[in-house]
Amino acid sequence: ILFVRSLDGGQSWSTAKRIGSPSDGSSVVEGSMIAVGPGGEVYVAYYDSKLPGIVVAKSTDGGQSFGEPVRALAHSSMRFGKTLGGGFETLPFPSIAIDNSPGPNRGTLYIAADIKPSDSADMSDVVLVKSTDGGSKWSAPIRVNDDQTGTDQFQPSLAVAPDGTLGLMWYDRRNDPQNNVLLDVYMTTSSDGGKSFTLDRRVTSASWMLVPTPLGLRTHYHGDYNQMSSGELGFMLNWGDDRSGRDSDIYAAVLPVSEASKQAPDFVLSAEKLAVNELSGTSASLTMSLAGRNGFSDSVSLESETAYPGISYQFSPASLTAGQQSILSIAVTTGTPAGTYPLLVVGKAGDLKRSVSLRLTVYDSSELSRVPLAIGSAREALLEPKAASDTTGNLHVLFGGEPGPFGPPYGSLQYARFRSNEQLSAYTVFRVSDPADSLSNYSIGVDDAGNITITWLQTNFNTGITNVFLSRSTDQGKTFSPPANITGLTDKKMTIYLTTLAVHGSGAINVGYVQDTPPGSPTSSTVDFWFVRLTDGGAKFSTKVKVFETDKKVGFVYSAAMALDPTGNPVFVYDASVDSTSLIFDIFLSVSKDGVSFQAAVNLSKTSGSNS
């Protein structure tokens, strides 16, 4: 974290000064936020993955120097950030504000962040910590949002009004308890220095689904720059808003302090399913529900504000009162172009107007006989499915669950079995109990008897040790065996970063893995590529053998795939550099005829340039 300041209105800037420790191979510091106290004190709050949590550094000389960072909030769920339901990626960054009013809480520092509560069904709540002694000591976190739904509340921002009233805003999914996908913005205030809060108030007039972000790095994220500020007008809120269903917009609201906590009669529209798939020339339906808030009892008329050629809508009934439902029928004529169509359903009661965003995907009936089956729940973020089929027509699927902000690593592995568009079973294969553990690079295979084998890499970020683990099911995925560590590394200097799996019909389990000694980049380390075979349901391990033998150490193996020949022996294809300093990668083939040794590797690509 670097700090600069300007004393001439931004015309020139000081030399950058480092705050705290820098990011390195074992930790990350990021997400810095600045606040200035009533005496000119400068506070910088930021995320430090070593805790993991939020630290605060203080300067009493206008930013010329900073003291050592002080821990303000630490929580195990803040280690990586997280991907919430609907694929919403969040990072564990803070928001900081200071009371500069002349009131009794003058000088109090506040920090808001989101953490995962102890309730396993709830992935995110907004919490507040505060300091009344200039940042030396911090209170225990208290939960801010008052919902009882087990839905997500996240990405908070806070501000202190000139009269000392504390305000907080955040994204909130309480109005979609079934799916935990639709977004609103809520806020609350405190007039006693964060000891108590007013009832949460809905700020938005629409509930919407996240529109994918057109970036390769992060595909589903918003809100990093949602902001609450304060001034003579009261609280000013701005946020990313996708209610159009087509593109993100910036919305803003200004609420006088006296109005920020008021609760007016209101209503919420929701749907049992938020997205529907249809073939052209067919129809589908969605069940809409109306919930009243704060004593709302009026009748609400329903309509769709989106019109597309070839698509028609009908509500039955066309008006509702709180607690009632309506069926939205959607008809798609033959020839309607395939694609995704955002739908905006609007409810009106006098001058009060509320909306909910839905999504229709149309498929060409001349190309498909039926629409694709959704095999994951919208409520859960299940990513990177791996699948294997058995001899009886079952499809076995393995997902990464409880992902980090960019997908892997994961906090759990989730299994499901399907046949003919019907889900037959689901099971949590493994969930980490140590927040420092993470899961990645998983695979699934099935033998002719229907026994399921799953392998994965498990890393502990405190020790830096990675091993290959294995679990099996002999009852069609109803239960899985306790994980078995099949590599047993105890030295963090010998880590594993890649594994492959192939299961033979006879039940033999074939595993390949790449071991990095010591850990590092392609230019600073060498690796060994090992193969091991497990028989008797994984009870017996063969002696590990090298897949790749050369007169030089292998510099790096970037990716690998394994298949079995008709006799059950392994064949590997992989890309590797042939020494520890080369940046040239080639595609290699390694074949075993007996499962105990490998023939000399064959270079299939023979790259001669340095930009391979």
383-603: same fold as 2-263?
A: yes
pLDDT band at 285 (very low <50, low <70, confident <90, very high): very high
pLDDT band at 30 (very low <50, low <70, confident <90, very high): very high
Interval 61-86 mean pLDDT = 89
In this model, does residue 272 exceed pLDDT 70? Answer: yes
Q: How much is the pLDDT for 216? A: 58
Cα angle 228, 106, 135 (rounded to 5 degrees) comes to 80
Q: Where are the domains of the chain?
A: 2-263, 268-363, 383-603
Tell which residue, 492, 488, 493, has the closest CA to residue 525: 493
Q: Minimum mean pLDDT among 253-262, 281-290, 385-394, 456-465: which range?
A: 456-465
In this model, does residue 80 exceed pLDDT 80? Answer: no
Q: How much is the pLDDT for 135? A: 97
pLDDT band at 554 (very low <50, low <70, confident <90, very high): low
Fold adopted by 2-263: Neuraminidase (2.120.10)
pTM: 0.85
Q: How much is the pLDDT for 549? A: 61
Q: How much is the pLDDT for 375? A: 75
Q: Which superfamily does CATH assign the domain made up of 268-363 to?
A: Immunoglobulins (2.60.40.10)
In this model, does residue 610 exceed pLDDT 80? Answer: no
Q: How much is the pLDDT for 584? A: 77
Architecture of the CATH domain 383-603: 6 Propeller (2.120)
In this model, does residue 523 exceed pLDDT 50? Answer: no
In this model, does residue 118 exceed pLDDT 60? Answer: yes
Q: How much is the pLDDT for 443? A: 97
3-class state of residue 477 by DSSP: coil
In this model, does residue 520 exceed pLDDT 80? Answer: no
Q: Which residue has the higher pLDDT, 52 or 120?
A: 52
On whether the CB atoms of residues 65 and 81 are closer than 8 A, the answer is: no
On whether the CB atoms of residues 183 and 168 are closer than 8 A, the answer is: no
Q: Which amino acid is at 189?
A: T
Q: How much is the pLDDT for 524? A: 45
> Per DSSP, what are the bridge partners of residue 234?
231
Q: How does DSSP assign 243-263, residue by residue?
A: TTSSS-EEEEEEE-HHHHT--
Interval 284-288 mean pLDDT = 94
The beta-strand segments (E) located in 174-247 are 184-190, 201-202, 206-207, 227-231, 234-241
Interval 380-404 mean pLDDT = 89
Chain segment 346-361, per-residue pLDDT in tens: 999 999 999 999 999 9
Chain segment 289-301, per-residue pLDDT in tens: 999 999 999 999 9
